[in-house]
Chain A
Amino acid sequence: EAGVAQSPRYKIIEKRQSVAFWCNPISGHATLYWYQQILGQGPKLLIQFQNNGVVDDSQLPKDRFSAERLKGVDSTLKIQPAKLEDSAVYLCASSLNGQGLTGELFFGEGSRLTVL
């Protein structure tokens, strides 16, 4: 079974530039999550999708971050304009329909962003 796919693995940009990350969840997983993990910290939820609808985006900095999940499969997370404090690993995860809290959560390898 293929896992959660993310790209790019690494990205270096200058502040005020824009960047986009892509995630393809495990086939059949209706729930998709984007997490931000700053070095030395645990992951922080940015946004949760159920199919193509947003369940929770309370911690997403909406002035600069946006995410979409068209057709309820792949998802894109965009940052525009980037700030130095956005340097982090962006993890995508997926789970079976609504089971992220009670069942298994599968993470991708992450996309490491460095903002200079």
Chain B
Amino acid sequence: KNQVEQSPQSLIILEGKNCTLQCNYTVSPFSNLRWYKQDTGRGPVSLTIMTFSENTKSNGRYTATLDADTKQSSLHITASQLSDSASYICVVSSQAGTALIFGKGTTLSVSS
């Protein structure tokens, strides 16, 4: 069964600190993996999209990594800011499917 699991479920860090969010998937055959940021009460906004051949992709202070062999991805946030407080959703696309497979998200809270 195609699944996307994210950890931790929630995370609290101090402003300025770094953090890493994890995503494990069982989707096959794999097409691409995306990370979305969803602010409270808003729609998800794309941070990165990675295909099979890409190991890492950055978007400002956000860096996503992909290990297609172990079917794991991580999202690293550097020098966190209060505005980083949001839910981060990992989404995987299968070459065989017609729909994206969403994780439940990790809720990040950055405090001052």
Seen from chain A, the residues whose Cβ lies within 8 Å of a Cβ on chain B are: 4, 40-45, 48, 55-56, 91, 93, 100-110, 112
- B45 to chain A: which residues have CB within 8 Å? 107
- Does B98 contact A102, Cβ atoms closer than 8 Å? no
**Docked complex: B60-97 residues within 8 A CB-CB of A:** 89, 91, 93-94, 97
- Does A91 contact B46, Cβ atoms closer than 8 Å? no
Tell me the minimal C-beta distance from A24 to chain B in angstroms: 14
- A112 to chain B: which residues have CB within 8 Å? 41
- Does B43 contact A100, Cβ atoms closer than 8 Å? no
Seen from chain B, the residues whose Cβ lies within 8 Å of a Cβ on chain A are: 4, 31-32, 34, 41-46, 49, 89, 91, 93-94, 97-100, 102-105
With A40-B104, A107-B44 known, 4 other A-B pairs at CB within 8 A are A42-B103, A44-B102, A101-B32, A108-B43
Tell me the minimal C-beta distance from B72 to chain A in angstroms: 18
* Residue from A56, A104, A105, A109 in contact with B42 in the complex, judged by beta carbons closer than 8 Å: A109
Tell me the minimal C-beta distance from B39 to chain A in angstroms: 10
> What is the total of A-B residue contacts with beta carbons within 8 Å?
55
CA of A28 to CA of B89 in the docked complex: distance in angstroms?
26
CA of A56 to CA of B4 in the docked complex: distance in angstroms?
20
- Does B43 contact A4, Cβ atoms closer than 8 Å? yes
- Does B104 contact A56, Cβ atoms closer than 8 Å? no
- Does B100 contact A45, Cβ atoms closer than 8 Å? yes
Q: List 20 A-B contacts (CB under 8 A).
A: A4-B43, A41-B104, A42-B4, A42-B104, A43-B102, A44-B102, A45-B99, A48-B98, A48-B99, A56-B99, A101-B94, A101-B99, A102-B93, A104-B46, A105-B46, A107-B45, A108-B43, A109-B41, A109-B42, A109-B43
Tell me the minimal C-beta distance from A20 to chain B in angstroms: 19
- Does B42 contact A101, Cβ atoms closer than 8 Å? no
